[in-house]
Amino acid sequence: MSAKQENEGAGQQANPAPLAGITVIEFTHMVMGPSVGVILGDLGADVIKVEPPEGDRTRTLLGSGSGYFPMFNRNKRSICLDLKNPDDLKHAQALCADADVVIENFRPGTLARLGLGYEALSEANPGLIYCSAKGFLKGPYEERTALDEVTQMMGGLAYMTGPPGRPLRAGSSVIDITGGMFGVIGILAALEQRHRTGKGAEIKCSLYETTAFLVGQHIAQKAVTGAAARPMPVRISAWAIYDVFETANEGEQLFVGVVSDGQWKTFCADFGMTELAARTEWETNNERVKARDEIIPVVSALFRSMPREELVAKLEKSGLPFAPIAKPEELVDDAHLNAGGGLLDVTLADGTVARLPALPLEIDGMRPGLFRDLPRPDEHGDELRNRIAGTGR
């Protein structure tokens, strides 16, 4: 551990993080399960990641999976155990016997067959909170194998993201991560319940039901309007100006949104759009939406005549919503993220330091930080085995 990380760990003890003193045992891989663990770890829990003897296979994924391990496994300790080996299985059971929380995302029934399911573990540890991250909650699909992309497709999100006839998954593991967030919500609720009852709980979070929750606004739209929601690229926007526009700089675009009647007046005044402002019938949002085909060409022509820097300066001064179209890697140099503690330095397996996003939270004005760097496989194994041996378990 670097001196920086040791200092951060000492700071955590001096000013305990919200979940300091909570022990979490994590039997997970890929994204959904580890996202539960990293959130709890960032909030100060002692997260112990149980890996197979060769290490979590997510460590060596290629292509779009190569960022999974470094993003979702900081602030954790690692122990490698072969759960088919009786001695290692006893070590795993002993870790769970002293834990506050267990997280797992294996296929349904896998850990239960090893004596690591909720029913068996809660007998020895009645206060245990056990979170299973699955593809589906209880129902006809419960035993199906699911992936983020599978549930985006069957849950309507891919249909809403791509143009008609071309379903398209979102550009991030959004369901894995959001599903993990719901797992954390369930765990925190169960911890609060345990304060009152002394009893643990079994929590399940899922990919499919998370997807359904995220498209709930579109289901509600059909109920309200009687018309099915159209995919986002061809939707009828709720606002007349809510789009990506070209600027005078080739290849440089900006998203601009004007989402209230007050912002419409500001936009027209600051950009000298006197002809648009003179149309009194456009003073209300819904009338502007109906006239979008008239408004957008005028605004597009104006923005194409202006350099991007000039547009950004005007929009920022006016307080209107806008955004440059950024690539993920560009966020590493983002002035706002760098100024606010929004990026954490983690060390990759080859020694490279990567700057990755912190939790998007402030607690008493502070951002959750880095207490432990990415663990090497079994980095904390001897320490944890010695602790288990010391308890006589």
- The single residue of 56, 176, 243, 373 carrying the catalytic annotation is 176
Cα angle: 114, vertex 119, 121; to 5 degrees: 65
Structure-block tokens of residue 385: 């085995």
d(CA 64, CA 68): 8
Of 275, 146, 125, 297, give the one whose Cα is nearest residue 208: 146
Tokens 């909570």 belong to residue: 22
- Asked if 337 contacts 352 with a C-beta cutoff of 8 angstroms, the reply is no
Helix (H/G/I), strand (E/B), else coil: 59: helix
- Exposed/middle/buried for residue 368 (C-beta within 10 Å: 0-12, 13-18, 19+): buried
- Asked if 254 contacts 283 with a C-beta cutoff of 8 angstroms, the reply is no
Respond yes or no: is residue 100 known to be catalytic: no
- Asked if 191 contacts 129 with a C-beta cutoff of 8 angstroms, the reply is yes
Give the single-character DSSP code of 375.
P
Tokens 């992936």 belong to residue: 147
Active site (catalytic) residues: 176
